[in-house]
Amino acid sequence: MGAERIGKPYPTMMRELNPYDQSAKLGADTLLEIMRVTKNISALEYMAEELGYKLSPGAEQHPMQEEQEHLADSA
């Protein structure tokens, strides 16, 4: 993924992503940037589902949606 592309030092990023570090927190802004960089919105889809919602694309297709569809088609 490249912590530098997210704007975080590597050790900080690894600490925030460590599920066993109860004192570290991954901020929503960092999660959003991770989804932008990786073009993977599965975390957003998971959160929506947990809250009883489903995501749907907007009126115009966003570049991330195009990439997701391309990846799904090639799988």
The Cβ of residue 28 has, within 10 Å, a number of other Cβ atoms equal to 8
Instruction: Please give the average per-residue pLDDT across 64-71, as a whole number.
Output: 64
Using an 8 Å Cβ cutoff, are 34 and 6 in contact? yes
What span, in angstroms and rounded, lies between the C-alpha atoms of 32 and 56?
A: 17
Hey, is 41 helix, strand or coil? coil
Centroid of chain to Cα 62: 15
The confidence band for 70, taking pLDDT boundaries of 50, 70 and 90, is low
Reported confidence tier of residue 55, pLDDT bands at 50, 70, 90: confident
| CA proximity to 65, closest of 1, 30, 28, 73 | 73
